[in-house]
Each structure stands twice: as C-alpha cells, then as structure tokens.
Structure 1
Amino acid sequence: MQTTSMEQARLEGNVIIDTHQAALEKVFEDHKAEATRQSETRIKAEAANAKLSLNQALAKSQLEIKRRQSKVQQELKDKIFEEADALIDEFMKTEAYDDFLIKCIRKAVAFAGNDELTIYINPTDEKKRSDLEGATRVHLTISAEDFRGGVRAVIRSRNILIDNSFSTQLKEQYDKFVFLGGDGIA
C-alpha cells in the first residue's frame, strides 16, 4: 500500500509540477510578448521623434538659407540700383537727356490739349530751362522739390499729374524688382 500511495503521490506531484511549469511557461511567453510589443512601440516612438527632429532641423536650416538668400538678394538689388543711379547721372549729362526732356514736355502738352498745364523741371536742370522753352515753346517752372531729373506736369482742371521723374521711375522699378530663381520661381 505504501508503494501505491507513493506512486499516487508522485503522480499527483508530477501533475502539480507540470501544471505549475506550464503556468510559468505561459507567464514567461506572455511576458516575452509584452516586452516585444513594448520595445516595438518604443522603437516606433523613437523613430517618429527622430523623424520629427530631423524635419524640424531641416525646416530651420531651410529658413536660415532663405534668410541669407534674401539678405544677399537685397544687397545685390541695392547695388544694382546704385549703379542705375550712377547711370542716370551720366545720362543727364548727354544730349539724349535734353531730347528726353523735350519729348516728355511735348507729350504732356499734347495730352493736356486745351487744358491749362504746369510743367515742372528739376532744380538741377535750371540751366537748361531757356533752351527747353525755346525748343518746346512752353513756359517751364522750376520745381521746389528735387525729383532727380525728368519732368512732371500738372493739369489742375482734371486733377492729373503726369510724372516722368526719375525718382518716381526708380522707386517703381525698385519696388517691382524681384530676383528669379534658376527654376523661374521668385
């Protein structure tokens, strides 16, 4: 009987041990699966953070490049218009400038028709006044304001200003001037 009891106890002990071992193996497998899931989630989160950081760094560097490019373009634009200003100075010393003034005066007179017209020339052109009046048969007024050269005309009855001054022309061109990129995009 003792042998039978011992065998019975051994069998029950083995069943308990097997059941406990199976339970431990299941806990171990569940723990392994959970650890794998957590590590995959952590890897995905870190990858997303790394991608976000990279995108932020890229955006920051692109913004800095655009700032530098804009600064260089502004410097070049200013230099171009300084050179244009110097070219205007040279042009104003030529006969072509006198012809330009005469052409502007005649166009203003033609536009005004029978309306009263006041034509202004720049103070720097005061020495040319008599020659211009002789060529156009129009009385010219010296402007109180320096408008860099050219002609301005006023038709008061129609509230019209005809502005062929270099200062206005330069400002308009400066405001419109844009560098185009190599791909045709501003």
Structure 2
Amino acid sequence: MQSTSMEQARAEGNAIIDSHREALEKVFEDHKAEALRQSETRIKAETTNAKLSLNQATAKSQLEIKRRQGKVQQELKDKIFEEANSLVQDYMQTEDYNDFLVKCIRQAVKYAGEDPVVIYINPSDEKKRSDLEDATRVRLTISAEDFIGGVRAVIRSRNILIDNSFKTQLRNEYDKFMFLGGDGIA
C-alpha cells in the first residue's frame, strides 16, 4: 500500500511538474514571441528614423550646395558684367561708336517723321556733340542722367521713348542672364 501510495504520489507530482513545465514553456514562448515582435517594431521605427534623418541631412546638404552655387553664380555674373561694362567703355573710344551714335540719331529722326523729337546723348559724349550735329543735322541735348552711352530719343506727341542707351541694354541683359547647367537646365 505504501508503494502504491508512493507511486500514485509520484505520478501526481510528475503530472503537476509536467503541467507546470508546460505552462512555463507556454509563458516562455509567449514572452519570446512578444519580445521578437517588439524588437521588429523597434527595428522598423529605428530604420524609419534613420531614413528620415538621412533625408533631412541630404536635403540640408543640397540646400547648402544650391545656396553656395547661387552665390558663386551671382559673383561670376557680376564679374562678367563688370567686364562687359569695361568693354563698352573701350568701344565708346572707337570710331565705330561714333558711327553707332549717328545711326541711332538718324533712325530716331526717321521714326519721328514730322513729329518733334528730342534726342539725348550721354554727358560723357558731350565733346562729340558738334560733330554729331554736323553729321546728322539734328540738334542734340545732353542728358542730365548718365546712361553710360548710346542715345535716347523722346517723341512727346506720341509718348514714345526710343532707348538705345547702353545702361538699359546692359541692365536688360543682366536681368535675363542665367547660367545653364550641363544638361541645359537652369
């Protein structure tokens, strides 16, 4: 009887231990699965954060590059137009410039037709005034404004300004000027 009781007690103890072991193994498996899910979620979140940080850093770098590029392009543009202005000053010392002035004066007079026209030359061209008046038979006015060179004509009766001044032409070119990328995109 004692051996039967002991056997039965051992069987019940083994059953309790087996049941407890199974319960612990289930808790362990559940815990393992939850830990795996949490680690996958964390990896996804960290990956997303890393990509976001990388995108932000890339965008910031690109913005800085564009800012620097814009600054360099502006400096180069200013330098190009300083050189262009210097070339204009050199051109204004040539006989071709005098011919250009005569041509502009004649075109303005022709365009005005019968209407009175006031033709302005730049203050720097004042010494050329009498030669230009002799060549064109037109009375010229010295402009109060320095427009670098060239000619401006006003036909008041039609509210027309004919602007063949270098200042306006240089400004228009400066405003339109853009550096194009190697692929033709500004």
Give TM-score scaled by structure 1 length. Answer: 0.96
**Which moved further from structure 2: 93-102 or 8-17?**
8-17
Provide the residue aligned with 2:137 in structure 1.
137
5+ residue gaps, structure 2, are none
Q: For the residues of structure 1 that align with 2:107 and 2:9, how far apart are their CA atoms?
A: 125
**Which moved further from structure 2: 127-136 or 17-26?**
127-136
Provide the residue aligned with 2:90 in structure 1.
90
Which one-letter code corresponds to 1:12 in the other structure?
E
Q: Any idea what the Cα deviations from partners look like across 1:38-69, whole Å, max 9, x if unmatched?
A: 11111111111111111111111111111111
Is 2:33 aligned against 1:36?
no
Provide the residue aligned with 2:62 in structure 1.
62
Q: For the residues of structure 1 that align with 2:34 and 2:72, how far apart are their CA atoms?
A: 56
How far off is 1:2 after superposition?
2.6
Q: What CA RMSD, in Å, does the superposition of the two structures yield over aligned residues?
A: 1.0
Q: Any idea what the Cα deviations from partners look like across 1:126-175, whole Å, max 9, x if unmatched?
A: 11111111111111111111110100000111111111111111111111
Residues paired across the two proteins, number: 186
Which one-letter code corresponds to 1:159 in the other structure?
N
Q: For the residues of structure 1 that align with 2:104 and 2:169, how far apart are their CA atoms?
A: 14
Q: Any idea what the Cα deviations from partners look like across 1:49-95, whole Å, max 9, x if unmatched?
A: 11111111111111111111111111111111111111011100001
Q: Equivalent residues in 2 for 1:147-166 (5 A)?
A: 147-166=147-166
Give TM-score scaled by structure 2 length. Answer: 0.96
Provide the residue aligned with 1:180 in structure 2.
180
Provide the residue aligned with 1:50 in structure 2.
50
Q: Any idea what the Cα deviations from partners look like across 1:4-37, whole Å, max 9, x if unmatched?
A: 2222222222111111100100000011111111
Q: Any idea what the Cα deviations from partners look like across 1:96-127, whole Å, max 9, x if unmatched?
A: 00111111111111211211111100111111
SS at match of 1:119: strand
**Which moved further from structure 2: 28-37 or 6-15?**
6-15
Q: For the residues of structure 2 that align with 1:97 and 1:178, how far apart are their CA atoms?
A: 28
Q: For the residues of structure 2 that align with 1:27 and 1:55, how far apart are their CA atoms?
A: 42
